[in-house]
């Protein structure tokens, strides 16, 4: 059973290095709500970027599955200022005359490969001998000196997923969606985490098992948003999905005052020092981010019950805003992203 909110609330109530500021969450809720209304922010916003698929079909489902299978750890060792610019020599994908970094480098690499006739979004391909580490390195070839982080791990995860599809006699992730008869987002999260180990995003914190499930939840959310809650994207309990705890959203939550770091953690992150996956501080950063967004969501629902905004849309909005801050050279932003290398985010 997926139980994210209850377990992250435990972390928020017992954390040593990260504090959720409930008053700041209330203030942020008003600001976020006003800006989302001003921008007419909705599921349709998901389809606006040029790299996202525009068709609502099985091929798009498989594109989303591959993206979220590999949607982790795109921060750069080279780009110490986290500028997001190719000129920093960070991992960059050139596609159709443009250069993409971060998450968008993943989308661009996949689209580029498909355009070159490489069936990289086809699960059956991952289980073949033709698909090897050299092929994936080619798919992720960089326009700069820095290569894609964790290439071998990404390859292993794709091979493992390919074996699951082959063993289950499945051709497409759409078949897994079709088998979700109750149209339950949380059931699908649990199914994905049980079938594909890299999605089983859990941690042990002060003796308690903590559920985070960033990539499994964002997989469901991306399908929901892409299909605008219809067809493959119809989920009866979509509002029970939480925000997606990564390294980008905690940064903007800190800037909004929703999260407060201990002096030691603040200096550690500011010094660009690594934090291991599963370290109590890392669990606190992620769990407290989820809880802060939940408090923001509740406050938004109180202020404007007619506007249906769930944690997914809040997360998407915060992530988009954080990326805009990155493009503005982080003027006014007080903390870097934390540095953790992990397949979970």
Active site residues: 246
Percentage helix, strand, coil, to 5, in the chain? 55, 5, 40
Taking the C-alpha atoms of residue 11 and residue 212, their distance in angstroms, rounded to an integer, is 11
Residue 228 C-alpha from the chain's centroid: 18
Q: Which helix (H) or strand (E) holds 210?
A: strand 208-211
Which residue intervals of the chain are DSSP H helices? Answer: 4-14, 22-38, 58-69, 103-115, 123-126, 133-139, 151-167, 173-178, 185-195, 214-226, 249-255, 263-270, 280-303, 311-327
Q: Which two tokens stand for residue 53?
A: 């698929």
The vertex-223 CA angle with 155 and 86, nearest 5°, equals: 55
> Rg of the chain's alpha carbons, rounded to an integer?
19
Residues 210/11, Cβ–Cβ less than 8 Å: yes
How far CA 336 is from CA of 73, 103, 253, 333, 339, in Å, comes to 15, 17, 12, 8, 9
| Residue found under tokens 């798009």 | 60
């Amino acid at each position: 059973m997926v139980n994210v909110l209850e377990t992250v609330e435990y972390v928020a109530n017992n954390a040593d290095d990260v504090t959720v500021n409930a008053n700041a969450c209330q203030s942020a809720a008003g600001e976020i709500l006003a800006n989302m209304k001003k921008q007419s922010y909705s599921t349709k916003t998901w389809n606006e970027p040029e790299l996202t698929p525009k068709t609502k079909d099985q091929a798009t489902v498989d594109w989303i599955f591959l993206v979220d299978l590999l949607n982790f750890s795109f921060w750069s060792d080279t780009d110490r200022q986290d500028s997001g610019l190719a000129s920093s020599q960070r991992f960059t994908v050139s596609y159709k005359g443009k250069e993409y970094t971060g998450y968008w480098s993943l989308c661009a690499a996949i689209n580029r490969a498909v355009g070159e006739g490489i069936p990289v979004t086809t699960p059956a391909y991952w289980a073949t001998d033709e698909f090897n580490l050299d092929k994936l390195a080619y798919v992720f070839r960089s326009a700069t000196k820095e290569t894609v982080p964790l290439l071998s791990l990404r390859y292993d995860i794709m091979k493992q997923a390919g074996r699951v599809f082959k063993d289950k006699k499945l051709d497409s992730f759409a078949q897994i969606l079709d088998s979700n008869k109750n149209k339950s987002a949380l059931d699908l999260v649990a199914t994905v985490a049980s079938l594909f180990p890299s999605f089983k995003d859990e941690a042990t914190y002060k003796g308690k098992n903590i559920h985070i499930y960033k990539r499994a939840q964002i997989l469901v959310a991306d399908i929901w948003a892409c299909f605008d809650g219809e067809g493959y994207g119809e989920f009866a309990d979509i509002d029970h999905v939480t925000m997606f705890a990564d390294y980008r959203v905690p940064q903007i939550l800190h800037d909004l005052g929703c999260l407060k770091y201990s002096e030691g953690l603040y200096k550690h992150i500011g010094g660009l020092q690594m934090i291991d996956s599963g370290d109590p501080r890392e669990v606190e950063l992620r769990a407290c981010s989820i809880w802060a967004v939940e408090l923001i969501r509740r406050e938004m629902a109180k202020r404007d019950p007619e506007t249906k905004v769930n944690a997914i849309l809040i997360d998407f909005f915060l992530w988009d805003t954080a990326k805009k801050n990155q493009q503005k050279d982080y003027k006014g932003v007080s903390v870097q992203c934390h540095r953790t290398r992990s397949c979970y985010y």
